[in-house]
Structure 1
Amino acid sequence: MKKKISKTAWVTGGSSGIGLELTKRLLKDQYQVCIFAHVGIQQAVKELSEISSTVNGFEVDVQNESSLNEQFAQASATFGTPDLLINSAGISIAKSFDDMTSQEFERQIQINLVGSRNVAHAALPHLKQKVQQGKRPKIVFIASAAGLVGCYGYAGYCASKFGVVGLAEVLRMELRNQKIDVAVVCPPEVDTPLVTEEHKNGSPITAALKQLGGSMSVHTACKEIYQGILSNKFMIIPSVQTRILTKISSLLPNVYRKQLDRKLDQIIERLAS
């Protein structure tokens, strides 16, 4: 007997990492899913089709709102408006501020922050159609713990992800009366292809400091993230360790910074010896 499709989800950055893993969970939960990504669409759809045939792929560049408008319109016309929109598209360049070019800095801002804006803006008319059908759709932004606390070696990434958290905060308020929910996800380091690539050339100081927030496998992180998406939470922070870290930084910022500086001095001294 053919499974009944209950809802439709759109996932940007759905061809790898967190976006791909969340798509797998959505398909297992009988969602129809449209994934949108810049690369890797065909391979991802092939892999996901082993879970469910209710997956479709579209090639987009989140920096190009015209492309998003076109592909979202096609997805909506063919497969229906989304109950859930997850924006997981993003990049990270782990370099010191001194070594990072203006182009590298701006690329992270354009993809992570401006791209989040473009995705939300292009999807909004389709989400409003879902509201007109008597539903309450949801936008989920995948940000980072680096959008809540600064991280050594991540000037561009932190700037972009702090911006994504701020964008989500505003949209949560502005879209509330329009019956569109908003959530933002702030995970610690997650073992994805993006992070694996970073580790090849990243700073040992960055690697050591990131352990303050801990590290998670993509499976464990997405299990918590998915549960958070299905709840009424606005801020979704997987990992108890990361929740404690961000709480201390928020409630006791001076204490947090002193401890961080002490840890940083110890790491630099150890590496110099």
Structure 2
Amino acid sequence: MRYRWKHGAPRCAFVTGAASGLGLIVARTLIAEGSSVALFDLRFSQELRGDLQAAGKPGQKVEFYEFDISDRGAVHTAVDVAAAAVGPPDLALNAAGILLAAPYGQIDDDGFRKVIEVNLLGTHYFASAVLNHMQRGGHLALIASMAGKIGNYAYGAYCASKFGVTGIAEVLRVEMIERGIDVTAICPAEIETPMVLTERETMHPVTRELKAFPGVLQPEPAAEMMLRGIAARKPVVVMGLRPKLTLVMASLFPGAARWVTRQLVTGALRKMKRSGAG
């Protein structure tokens, strides 16, 4: 096995957002680790289905379920079917999410609501569904974000949703002690996933300046660090030195963190004004 699993590699893992980005990398890795997997997303191409199934060994199950994670009924139905077909999950990872970045006054109600429905309510629906089947020794991992710990320019909807995800993780970590289930909140900085690459086409200059501070990670090394943290069952996983330092500064020296943020924002606004973009 590639990772040092604290309680052994999961026999059965459930992964949402598994058709692309971090979710897909994790799905491939878990199959290579010998896990049977139930993979969830809006849709999977036939090519991807065949590729992932071919990666499994005899006896491994690789099953696919398509749904909108903001649809509670669809989530619970798919998880129930998966648990019957693949088995109760030893590890459940929610990697599904969307991003809407715009200054607060420019976000319409429908857009704000959609981000909350997918990122926050979707997390709740998935967590509640898998916990119905998870047994003692299980592990629930929820991808939040540094935006679930620190505010960012033009991230009103996204931060609201991801602060909620970290809150769910904190509560479940306490409540699941009795059941012997571990809970991990994953708080990455920017990772060059398809979602982030799309965002960059219209990213606000101030957002870009603030994101440059913790830096950017490539998907493969980010997934590697994330999986090491999951395997060790860390309560919180932050990938990369600069993101870790950023969160430490925000936690231990909030006044200094706010001062740095103000300097970065005002500097970016001056650049916009000089360039005529403001």
Q: TM-score range by the shorter chain?
A: over 0.9
The aligned counterpart of 1:26 is 30
Q: Aligned partner of 2:72: which letter? A: E
Does the 8 Å contact 1:65/1:122 carry over to 2? no
What is the Cα deviation at residue 46 of structure 1? 2.8
The aligned counterpart of 2:71 is 64
The aligned counterpart of 1:138 is 139
Does the 8 Å contact 1:188/1:238 carry over to 2? yes
C-alpha RMSD of matched pairs (Å): 1.4
Q: 1:221 & 1:94 partners in 2: Cα distance?
A: 22
The aligned counterpart of 1:122 is 129
What is the Cα deviation at residue 40 of structure 1? 3.0
Q: 2:107 & 2:194 partners in 1: Cα distance?
A: 21
Does the 8 Å contact 2:10/2:90 carry over to 1? no
DSSP 3-state at the match of 1:11: strand
Does the 8 Å contact 2:209/2:264 carry over to 1? no
Q: 1:115 & 1:6 partners in 2: Cα distance?
A: 23
Q: CA distance change for structure 1 residues 52 and 96 in 2, over 3 Å: closer, same or farther?
A: same
Q: 2:266 & 2:99 partners in 1: Cα distance?
A: 25
Corresponding position: 1:79 with 2:80: no
What is the Cα deviation at residue 260 of structure 1? 0.9
The aligned counterpart of 1:226 is 227
The aligned counterpart of 2:102 is 95
What is the Cα deviation at residue 111 of structure 1? 0.6
Does the 8 Å contact 1:42/1:57 carry over to 2? no
Q: CA distance change for structure 1 residues 88 and 247 in 2, over 3 Å: closer, same or farther?
A: same
Identity value in percent: 31
Q: CA distance change for structure 1 residues 149 and 43 in 2, over 3 Å: closer, same or farther?
A: farther
DSSP 3-state at the match of 1:178: coil
What is the Cα deviation at residue 44 of structure 1? 3.3
Does the 8 Å contact 1:20/1:44 carry over to 2? no
Q: 2:86 & 2:252 partners in 1: Cα distance?
A: 45
Does the 8 Å contact 2:80/2:129 carry over to 1? no
The aligned counterpart of 2:5 is none
TM-score (norm 2): 0.91
Corresponding position: 1:10 with 2:14: yes
Q: 1:76 & 1:28 partners in 2: Cα distance?
A: 21
Q: 2:262 & 2:37 partners in 1: Cα distance?
A: 44
What is the Cα deviation at residue 231 of structure 1? 0.5
What is the Cα deviation at residue 271 of structure 1? 2.1
Does the 8 Å contact 2:103/2:156 carry over to 1? yes
Q: CA distance change for structure 1 residues 144 and 43 in 2, over 3 Å: closer, same or farther?
A: farther
Q: 1:43 & 1:93 partners in 2: Cα distance?
A: 29
Corresponding position: 1:177 with 2:178: yes
1:124-150 deviation per Cα after TM superposition (whole angstroms, max 9, x unaligned): 1210xx33xxxx000000010110111
Does the 8 Å contact 2:76/2:125 carry over to 1? no
Task: Map 1:38-53 onto structure 2 (within 5 A).
Answer: 38-40=42-44, 42-52=46-56
1:42-93 deviation per Cα after TM superposition (whole angstroms, max 9, x unaligned): 4432332342264211012211221122111211111111100001110001
Does the 8 Å contact 1:91/1:111 carry over to 2? yes
Aligned residues: 263
Gaps in structure 2 of 5+ consecutive residues: 1-8
Q: CA distance change for structure 1 residues 105 and 43 in 2, over 3 Å: closer, same or farther?
A: farther
Q: Aligned partner of 1:153: which letter? A: A
- The structure 1 segments of at least 4 consecutive aligned residues displaced by more than 6 Å after TM superposition are none
DSSP 3-state at the match of 1:140: strand
Q: Aligned partner of 2:211: which letter? A: K
Task: Map 1:101-116 onto structure 2 (within 5 A).
Answer: 101-116=108-123
